[in-house]
C-alpha cells in the first residue's frame, strides 16, 4: 500500500489554496491542501510498524510551531508547479529531516525539499507563466499553527486518507 506523510495547514490556508487548486490542481479531489513531509511510497506491514514507532518518537521531540506563507512561487523549469511559499521554512525542514531519518532514511531524494502548499500543477508553460505573473504581484499573508502531522494512505479510488495523526510534543497513547 502507498503511504505518505503530510501536514494539513489551518482551514484559512486550505480555503485560500483551494480557490486556486479547484481549477489548477488535478489532485484537488484526492487530497486536501497540504505540505508534504515525505513523498508517497509502497510499504509492507513491517515497514509500516517501524515507521509508526519512529513517527511517534519524532512527534514527541518537536513542539508545535507557527508558519507564515508570504508569497506565491514556482518550481519552473524543473516542474510546472505553483505554490504558497513559507517565509521561514526551517521548522518544517527540521521536521522533514527528523521524519526522513532512522527507519525512514532517504538515501536519494528526487528534489531538494522545499516545504510548500501546491496551488497548481501539471500546467502548460504559458498558463503557468500567466497565472504566476498575476499571483506574484498579489500580497499574501497566511499563518497556520502546526501541532500535528499525518501518516496517510492511498485508497483504491486514488484518494488519500489519514491512517494516523501524530501530535507534536505529546507522548503516544498506550494501546
To which residue does cell 506565491 refer? 72
Q: Select which of 34, 54, 80, 150 is catalytic.
A: 34
Which residues, 6 or more positions from 45, have their beta carbon under 8 angstroms from its beta carbon? none
Question: How many Cβ atoms sit within 10 Å of the Cβ of residue 66?
Answer: 12
Strand partners, 41: 3
Annotation says 116 is catalytic: yes
Annotation says 129 is catalytic: no
DSSP state of 102: G
Query: Pick from 162, 158, 159: which is nearest to 55 by CA?
Result: 162
Residue 5 CA, chain-centre distance (Å), reads 7
Q: Select which of 80, 96, 116, 150 is catalytic.
A: 116
Catalytic residue IDs: 34, 116
Amino acid at each position: 500500500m502507498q503511504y505518505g506523510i503530510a501536514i494539513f495547514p489551518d482551514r484559512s490556508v486550505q480555503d485560500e489554496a483551494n480557490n486556486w487548486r479547484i481549477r489548477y490542481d488535478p489532485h484537488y479531489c484526492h487530497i486536501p491542501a497540504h505540505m508534504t513531509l515525505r513523498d508517497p511510497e509502497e510499504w509492507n506491514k513491517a515497514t509500516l510498524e517501524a515507521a509508526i514507532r519512529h513517527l511517534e518518537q519524532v512527534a514527541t521531540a518537536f513542539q508545535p510551531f507557527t508558519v507564515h506563507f508570504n508569497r506565491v512561487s514556482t518550481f519552473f523549469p524543473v516542474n510546472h508547479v505553483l505554490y504558497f511559499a513559507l517565509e521561514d521554512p526551517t521548522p518544517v525542514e527540521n521536521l522533514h529531516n527528523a521524519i526522513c531519518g532512522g527507519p525512514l532514511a532517504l538515501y536519494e531524494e528526487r528534489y531538494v525539499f522545499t516545504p510548500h502548499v501546491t496551488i497548481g500543477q501539471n500546467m502548460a508553460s504559458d498558463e503557468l507563466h500567466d497565472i504566476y505573473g498575476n499571483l506574484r504581484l498579489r500580497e499574501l499573508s497566511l499563518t497556520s499553527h502546526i501541532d500535528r502531522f499525518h501518516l496517510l494512505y492511498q485508497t483504491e479510488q486514488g484518494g488519500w486518507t489519514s491512517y494516523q495523526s501524530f501530535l507534536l510534543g505529546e507522548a503516544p497513547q498506550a494501546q
